[in-house]
Amino acid sequence: MAEGESTIILYTCRNDRDLQIALDFCKQIGLKFDYVNENTKEKIAQYGDTRKIYADVYIDDHAIFPVESQIAYLVQMDLIESLYG
């Protein structure tokens, strides 16, 4: 990786359909990830393929605004159900 570049990893407990919905949404709003629920090739070479995702910065939407994020999640799931059935 060149100096000044960042690697963005989506690390989520979502899987299967819920993960695909999240990825579709992120793509629609222009978010692109280098990895999803996995470490970079460099970190795997350095430490092996561990479950813990290595990062310099972690952003947890539920930790920043726990109540608001839960409400937003419930609203979002209602909207998703109406779109995806």
Is residue 69 domain-resident? Answer: yes
* Enclosing domain of residue 41: 9-84
Is residue 24 domain-resident? Answer: yes
Is residue 59 domain-resident? Answer: yes
* pTM strictly above 0.85: no
Give the count of domains, the chain.
1
Q: What is the pLDDT of residue 20?
A: 92
How far apart, in whole angstroms, are the C-alpha atoms of residue 77 and residue 71?
10
Is residue 66 domain-resident? Answer: yes
Is residue 62 domain-resident? Answer: yes
Is residue 2 domain-resident? Answer: no
Is residue 1 domain-resident? Answer: no
Q: What is the pLDDT of residues 12-41, one digit of tens each?
A: 888 899 899 889 988 999 989 999 999 999
Is residue 3 domain-resident? Answer: no
Whether residue 78 is predicted with pLDDT greater than 90 in this model: the reply is no
Q: What is the pLDDT of the chain when averaged over all its residues? A: 81
Q: What is the pLDDT of residues 36-70, one digit of tens each?
A: 999 999 999 999 988 888 888 887 766 665 666 66
How far apart, in whole angstroms, are the C-alpha atoms of residue 35 and residue 11?
9
60: number of Cβ within 10 Å: 9
